[in-house]
Structure 1
Amino acid sequence: MTKSRKIKKTTTTKKSDIPAGFDDYLETSLGYMARSGRYIEMRNLSTPEHHEEIKTNFIQQATAIQREQEELRNHLIEVLGETDPMDLVARASMKYLQSDPNTYKEWEDDRSPSHIEYLALQALSLNGAGRADSLPNYGRDYDRTFAALSIVRKMFNNASMLLVIEALAAREKDPSNRSIEYVLKTRLSSLGIRGSAYDEHLVDVLKGTLGEFSGECTEALGFDIHDALRMVEGIHRIIQSRIDARAPEAQAGFIRMAEEFKRERRKGRRSGYTSSKYPSWALQLSPSEGKLYLAKLIDTWMFHDAKQIGLISPQDLAESCSLDIESCLSFLRAFTCGPEEFIARHHAYPTGQHPLVAKPFMQVDDGFLCPSPATIIESLRQRLEDLLREKLPPKKWEKYLKARGSYVERRAVELLSGALPGSISWKSLQWNSSANNSDLDGLVAADDVTLLIQCKAGRLSGSARRGSPERMRRDIDKLIKEAAGQHEALNDAIREEGASSLGFDANQAKALNSPFSFEVIVCLDDITTWATHANELKGIEALPAGRNVPWILSLTDLMVVVELLQGSHLINYLTRRQRLERDSRIKAHDELDWVGHYILEGLFFDQMLDGPGAPNIFRLLSYTEPIDSWYFWRSGVRTVETPKPTPEVPEGLRRLIERLEQERPEHWATASLGLLCGDGDSRDQWNEAIARVSSRLSSHGWCNTSQVFGEGLGVTLHIDHRYTLEGVGRQARKYIEEKTSKLSIANWIVIYEGRSGEMAVEVRSSDPNEQLADFFMNPRSVGAERTSATSESGS
């Protein structure tokens, strides 16, 4: 998964110096940065003059940082040259990227495969020029490994600072250029982030795109995608089996050394005693420190020849996967990065989208070494498509591109329609107006909710991912701007001529005029850098101004969203995401952080951003921990049983919403949104009120309960078993007229039930200018959600 960095600890030394309400607090030259839980708040308190002075001084540091980068790189090459550089890379990979899936927390981890890949690139540049010590010294090799990693981490920090300085300098020259911010985000993301999808979804995409072209792949490459996936699993299995084989001996050795060390510590108390096995300082360690010391010694022994643990031969792979050696050799060679691909002017310093991203192996002696085995699967489609484009006849390549696009459309529609109860869906709808003609890739309708889907299966170029302004703009236009333009053109045509006039049938036309309409853009490639803050794309004219921002996400992110959020929760989430895009002050790294926040705490931020002391920017740290844990457990990586993350809704309210989803009366989706409106207090009030309604029915035969949200919405549950459903419906309509008039409420929803036990919903808007969808999606419309709502009951 993607990596998020923790805010560094405050420079103050006393906990009492941290202002109330914050866990960490850091004063900066411009204001402050503070963490509360997994929120980061940033506030600029400087004057414009002071801000300019700080910025100028920061820009002037570029020369010194660049000089330090050169010194660090020279030092790194020295360290690599003092030993077997590939052995050092293998040891760094196995130790640095090691984590316990049972305790792993993404937001606490700032390690990245990018660090190891950069180290490997520098080792590759030596092309075997390093030298191993004539006599092995396990401790020295271990120290060199972590010295190299320390240098690499410092270089990545410097590279990030240089990118920020470059962006500031560019803005100085051209203050009106809004694309500078996106260039900076893209370069920073490319520099430090590797991987944003779970393996099972990557496998889904690989099989969906390349699976039906097995014959073409085998003919052109010597293996197909199914072989490739088996080999990826085989590589992990081989490396793990080698480590496991050493574990019993290491454990036994630790027990022996612990007893021996205990005896040596006793002897070490004698005057003048010198141990032949342990340094004198080690004998003075406390028992707990001594155990850590011994654990390091055993760990050093375990990985003293790390290259031999990680080295994969075609023979080993063929035996592990039950494939022929030639297929395995073809696969390894296809994904191998050679020394000639290291170009000093591009790769001497940390950068994104380097050769190892697409070719994650390096040939070492008669085998192949992968510095970051966990990321191999991310390289498969990119590399295989590049090879197929080179080797396939043009017609077959065009056939593949068409099938790839169809897969994305089909899968996106399947996922979204499967997540909405009672939905109907269509794919590849052509439409024609008097001024335009185009197509809609997917349409999903469920009651009052409609999703209009445009899909893009095109590839993002490596230069775009590195932040090349020209190529980035071209790719954004191809994947996002074009899709948004198709949405806008259809919206304009429907407004001017009506859906039926464009060629849509009656059911499709009804769906296209639903109260809750969401435009969706699904891309096959990962587009996190641009999609998470999609509202900012208006600033570079990639999205049209004056329109709602589409929900933009990758196909793999969509797979996670619809697996975790179904029915009413998905609809509620979409309205919340639209509110966030309209507000634009709250930032998150990726879509799954929004999903994680919704599940854990809802997406309520109005109270944090109102008032004169509101922060300029409010940023979330990673919220994917429960999601990661569940996927890790389901895939077998995590051994601690982990429940599926689910939004917390009180039992009575949950049953009512589930009933609406199952019976699906007209406007059930709107009713569910009304019930989910508000915060946790509001939902608790509903739960208590539902229980009261149930208890009073037996004695009175009828009861109702309501919640009111400011001046925008009232929601009522009205049950009357004395009358038919039609009779209760008349009561509901009369109730709405009285309440909206008396309380000046713009919208009201009544969920009602008659003696038959059948449920129905009545929805009314008293002001045609105050649309119910706007109420749910407007950041300023639901201020009452801060304190929930008022509740009333009667019988």
Structure 2
Amino acid sequence: MPVSRKRKKRGQPVKSSDPHKIVFRQIEIGGDNHAEFKAAMMDAARKGVDEFPKLLGRISDLFQSTYPPNLLSTFAFYGCQGSIDDQGHQKPMAGGILQYHVELLQALALMVPREKWGGAPSTGEKMQAVFDTVPEISDTFLRIRIVRQADETDAQKKAVLSLQEKIRLHTQAVRNWGYYLEVIKICRELYCPLDGKFNEVLGFSATDFIDVAEALVSEFERRARLHFETMRKFLRGKTIPQIVNLYFEHMPNIQGSPGDFIKSIPPGTSLQGVKGFLMSHADLRHVDLMTFTPNELATLTNKPVSTVEKVLDAIALEPGALVGANVEYLFLSNPVWTRPAIKLMDGYFIPLPQAVFSHINNIMRGLAESAKLDNALSDRRAAYLENKTEEVLKAVLPTARIEKNKKWSVDGVQYETDIFGVVDRTLIIVEAKSHRVSSQALRGAPDRLRKHLVDLVVDPSVQSERLQSLVVNARAGDTVSKAIIAPLGLDAGQIDNIIRLSVTLDDFSIMSSSEDELKEVGWIPEGHELAATILIADLICIAEILVNELQFLHYLAERFHFQKAFELLGDELDFLGLYLANGFNLGQAQKQLKRIALSGLSEVIDRYYQGREVGLELPRPKSNLNRTFRDIVDRLTLRKPPGWTTIGIHLLNSVDGEEQKKVTAGLERLRKSVLNKRTIPGDDCIMQIIPPLERKATIAFFVYSPDGGLDVRKSMEQIAADMLERDEAKVCVVFGKSTAAWDEPYRSALIVQKRD
């Protein structure tokens, strides 16, 4: 992504040996010679652009000399395969190769006419050329766009290009919009109710499609496991004769004999050289691993062969189908995304079976359009998103009052809030939008992109802010606003916190880190504060990880402020990874940093879900809460005294896990002091936490002995009053801890806030 000329530093979180500890380091982009650095980068980009046709020609030549499925299958096999250890860590077989690289190579293969396809087998040398060239092609296309953006002189157009580039990079690189098992579940819930309509027009149902796609993935995984097992069997040989004999013994359908092969080995060939040759020979079987017939899949799914064939035809392209295609479009709207299969004479070649689920929303949309079922699918997406969001909120907030599709009017204009929930003194306003960004917008149509982003991101946020404003005004005494929200059952005087959220069916998490750009291009109304936009699959994960109601509410509440405090590079689960580490309490980094790269912080969450998919029972990731704070949060959640959400959110807002340890140590010192001195309330029995941000509340712990005859409530009220005046805080929370009941998280709690 191009770096803004206005800023030179990017804060990047770095994990320490402690999995919960995140430290930040600043990366200088060009340092003191930023102008020279930028000029050098642009010069390199322009030179890379000149190389683009040569790179494409190199791949085209390889396809015309070598059988393309051989090159594709081996590139996909080593580029997108990996292993998972017993801790859920995933290790790729080939670093630097991602799914979109394979999709790009597949599209380039389809640009070569079938009659020009080569017939020779792939070799190690040719495969190395592919592994070197494809990422370079992808990087060069990025350079092309950087050059175009740099050459644009109009400030408004340049800002639009920058915003488009963020969305394009996200669309190009991000494939896993959810963890596999959750994606399957969402797809079945979302699309299977349309079975009858699909079957009537297409000859197969949505259930048929998902069943076949799931069978493709599981069958490929089975074949890949057997292939790896066979490889291990012959690679364990200690000598050349042992290796060759094991290869012929375990690799099926090998012609010739081990003895003849051994005689053909040139003198002086090393053991490693023979291993490498046999592995290259075994690589030729990758095409078979990735080729499926309707008969095979019909047996696996217990479906008619004709039904399976229709499903496969719906996602297949013929060789040469992309001859004459615009190469640039392959990066922005690759036809392979919705047609990941190549129809060959002996079956359907699918280098990436998992790609069906990566792009299933686009695939289903295309199928619906071809069957004239656009409106049915649109209605289903909208209904599903609202129902699923409501289901998630009810599950994670069991005591909340959750209501859906509530109507209210202002000046004769009727509005509707998709979902709102009230839990204690916290109101959640949710807008669920199931639209999507079209391929035309991704390819560079700014008017189309603006319409999509306004519909999906801006308008829902404006709608939720409209209701928020009414509640705030009603809380301040405005009688008109009170009358408007009364039919919703909302008592503004009983609401302290308002959380606004937009939920989508497609991944627009990149928008949550683009608020500045959206304001710069004028696509956000002046003065509007954009609500967080979260993909439904990510919301499900957040609710499953943050099972405590208070922490779930705190995450959503701070998520709103977090996207405004920084320019962010990362997705929603990276944000969640950071939250688990420090609760979004960044200390002084909150003031010192503006741009933060968070990519990779979702690792702890990835391990949990990836491990679960392969049958590993790994512990659910937990937030880095010190026992003192965790016990208070758990007690508040269990007992739910009036104002418990407000008190808990303020507590979680105060300090991160490392600072919480200091609080615990300080409380122990206070306890000893109170027990030794038996003093009246004073500085020696009070601990204050003053967060670095003014919007956060001051937290105090009052340690007392019940033997001192104190009026505890009066003492706590005085402490709060003093802090509100002395520290210029707007809100203060005081926890009372008795030395006689020290094991209790707190004996009493008080929240005091200044009147607006």
- Residue 576 in structure 1 maps to residue 591 in structure 2: no
SS in 2 for 1:519: strand
Aligned to 2:622: 646
Which range moved further: 422-431 or 693-702? Answer: 693-702
Which range moved further: 113-122 or 188-197? Answer: 188-197
Kept in 2: contact 1:187–1:352 (CA 8 A): yes
SS in 1 for 2:428: strand
Aligned to 2:332: 352
Write the mapping of 1:215-364 to structure 2, written as runs, cut at 5 A.
215-256=196-237, 258=239, 260=241, 282-283=269-270, 293=273, 295-339=275-319, 341-342=321-322, 344-347=324-327, 351-364=331-344
- Residue 391 in structure 1 maps to residue 375 in structure 2: no
* Partner of residue 129 from structure 1, selected from 111, 115, 120: 115
In 2 relative to 1, CA 479–714 (structure 1 residues): closer, same or farther, beyond 3 Å? closer
Which range moved further: 209-218 or 749-758? Answer: 749-758
The CA distance in 2 between the partners of 1:61 and 1:507, in whole Å, is 62
In 2 relative to 1, CA 255–344 (structure 1 residues): closer, same or farther, beyond 3 Å? same
| TM-score computed with the length of structure 2 as normaliser | 0.83
Distance apart, 1:431 and its partner CA: 0.6
In 2 relative to 1, CA 681–78 (structure 1 residues): closer, same or farther, beyond 3 Å? closer
The CA distance in 2 between the partners of 1:68 and 1:122, in whole Å, is 17
Kept in 1: contact 2:235–2:243 (CA 8 A): no
- Residue 563 in structure 1 maps to residue 513 in structure 2: no
In 2 relative to 1, CA 562–281 (structure 1 residues): closer, same or farther, beyond 3 Å? farther
- The superposition leaves residues 631-654 of structure 1 with CA deviations (integer Å, 9 ceiling, x where unpaired) of 0111127x5x53221112222331
In 2 relative to 1, CA 669–595 (structure 1 residues): closer, same or farther, beyond 3 Å? same
Aligned to 1:101: 84
The CA distance in 1 between the partners of 2:583 and 2:529, in whole Å, is 22
- Residue 736 in structure 1 maps to residue 720 in structure 2: yes
The CA distance in 1 between the partners of 2:233 and 2:39, in whole Å, is 60
Kept in 2: contact 1:753–1:759 (CA 8 A): yes
Distance apart, 1:391 and its partner CA: 2.0
What amino acid sits opposite 2:142 in the alignment? Answer: S
In 2 relative to 1, CA 744–355 (structure 1 residues): closer, same or farther, beyond 3 Å? closer
Aligned to 2:57: 74
What amino acid sits opposite 1:388 in the alignment? Answer: A
Aligned to 1:147: 129
* Partner of residue 685 from structure 1, selected from 643, 651, 662: 662
In 2 relative to 1, CA 659–492 (structure 1 residues): closer, same or farther, beyond 3 Å? closer
Kept in 2: contact 1:186–1:467 (CA 8 A): no
* Partner of residue 589 from structure 1, selected from 570, 591, 605: 570
SS in 2 for 1:716: strand
The CA distance in 2 between the partners of 1:33 and 1:382, in whole Å, is 34
- Residue 554 in structure 1 maps to residue 540 in structure 2: no
- The superposition leaves residues 191-239 of structure 1 with CA deviations (integer Å, 9 ceiling, x where unpaired) of 3333332123322332232122222222222222332222122112322
Distance apart, 1:157 and its partner CA: 1.2
Aligned to 1:83: 66
Which range moved further: 106-115 or 404-413? Answer: 106-115
Distance apart, 1:527 and its partner CA: 0.9
The CA distance in 2 between the partners of 1:435 and 1:544, in whole Å, is 22
- Residue 762 in structure 1 maps to residue 750 in structure 2: yes
Aligned to 1:787: none
- The superposition leaves residues 459-483 of structure 1 with CA deviations (integer Å, 9 ceiling, x where unpaired) of 2212223443222112101111221
Computed over aligned residues only, the root mean square deviation of the Cα atoms, in angstroms, reads 3.8
Distance apart, 1:150 and its partner CA: 1.4
Aligned to 2:439: 462
SS in 1 for 2:574: helix
- The superposition leaves residues 52-79 of structure 1 with CA deviations (integer Å, 9 ceiling, x where unpaired) of 6765675566664333111111111111
Distance apart, 1:674 and its partner CA: 3.3
Distance apart, 1:167 and its partner CA: 1.3
Aligned to 2:28: 43
Aligned to 1:619: 597
Aligned to 2:613: 635
* Partner of residue 411 from structure 1, selected from 370, 374, 388: 388
What amino acid sits opposite 1:315 in the alignment? Answer: N
What amino acid sits opposite 2:131 in the alignment? Answer: L
Write the mapping of 1:22-33 to structure 2, written as runs, cut at 5 A.
none
Aligned to 1:269: none
Aligned to 1:776: none
Write the mapping of 1:468-483 to structure 2, written as runs, cut at 5 A.
468-483=445-460
* Partner of residue 749 from structure 1, selected from 707, 722, 733: 733
* Partner of residue 148 from structure 2, selected from 166, 172, 178: 166
- The superposition leaves residues 291-337 of structure 1 with CA deviations (integer Å, 9 ceiling, x where unpaired) of 5x555344323322321221111001011111111111111011112
In 2 relative to 1, CA 552–76 (structure 1 residues): closer, same or farther, beyond 3 Å? same
Kept in 1: contact 2:290–2:349 (CA 8 A): yes
What amino acid sits opposite 1:644 in the alignment? Answer: R
Aligned to 1:380: 360
- Residue 194 in structure 1 maps to residue 179 in structure 2: no
Distance apart, 1:161 and its partner CA: 1.2
Aligned to 1:502: 484
SS in 1 for 2:733: strand
What amino acid sits opposite 1:416 in the alignment? Answer: L
What amino acid sits opposite 2:69 in the alignment? Answer: M
Kept in 1: contact 2:292–2:348 (CA 8 A): yes
Aligned to 1:423: 400
SS in 1 for 2:632: helix
Write the mapping of 1:601-620 to structure 2, written as runs, cut at 5 A.
601-608=582-589, 610=591, 617-620=595-598
The CA distance in 2 between the partners of 1:69 and 1:399, in whole Å, is 43
Distance apart, 1:524 and its partner CA: 1.2
What amino acid sits opposite 1:422 in the alignment? Answer: T
What amino acid sits opposite 2:448 in the alignment? Answer: R
In 2 relative to 1, CA 659–493 (structure 1 residues): closer, same or farther, beyond 3 Å? closer
The CA distance in 2 between the partners of 1:108 and 1:685, in whole Å, is 44
- The superposition leaves residues 160-193 of structure 1 with CA deviations (integer Å, 9 ceiling, x where unpaired) of 11111111112x2446753221012122333333
Distance apart, 1:95 and its partner CA: 1.5
Which range moved further: 467-476 or 486-495? Answer: 486-495
The CA distance in 2 between the partners of 1:240 and 1:299, in whole Å, is 19
- The superposition leaves residues 699-748 of structure 1 with CA deviations (integer Å, 9 ceiling, x where unpaired) of 9999975333169643234588969xx97544432442344445554432
- The superposition leaves residues 134-158 of structure 1 with CA deviations (integer Å, 9 ceiling, x where unpaired) of 7x6xxx5233223123111111111
Kept in 2: contact 1:441–1:455 (CA 8 A): yes
In 2 relative to 1, CA 63–744 (structure 1 residues): closer, same or farther, beyond 3 Å? closer
SS in 2 for 1:129: helix
SS in 1 for 2:490: helix
- Residue 675 in structure 1 maps to residue 675 in structure 2: no
What amino acid sits opposite 2:613 in the alignment? Answer: S
Aligned to 1:270: none
The CA distance in 2 between the partners of 1:609 and 1:43, in whole Å, is 18
SS in 1 for 2:655: coil
Aligned to 2:690: 709
Kept in 1: contact 2:406–2:419 (CA 8 A): yes
Write the mapping of 1:54-69 to structure 2, written as runs, cut at 5 A.
64-69=47-52
What amino acid sits opposite 1:112 in the alignment? Answer: L
Kept in 1: contact 2:688–2:700 (CA 8 A): yes
Q: Which runs of 5+ in 2 are unaligned?
A: 16-23, 245-261
Kept in 2: contact 1:43–1:616 (CA 8 A): no
Distance apart, 1:665 and its partner CA: 0.5
What amino acid sits opposite 2:391 in the alignment? Answer: E
What amino acid sits opposite 2:551 in the alignment? Answer: H
Kept in 1: contact 2:64–2:117 (CA 8 A): yes
Total equivalences in the alignment: 707
Which range moved further: 176-185 or 105-114? Answer: 105-114
Kept in 2: contact 1:182–1:530 (CA 8 A): no
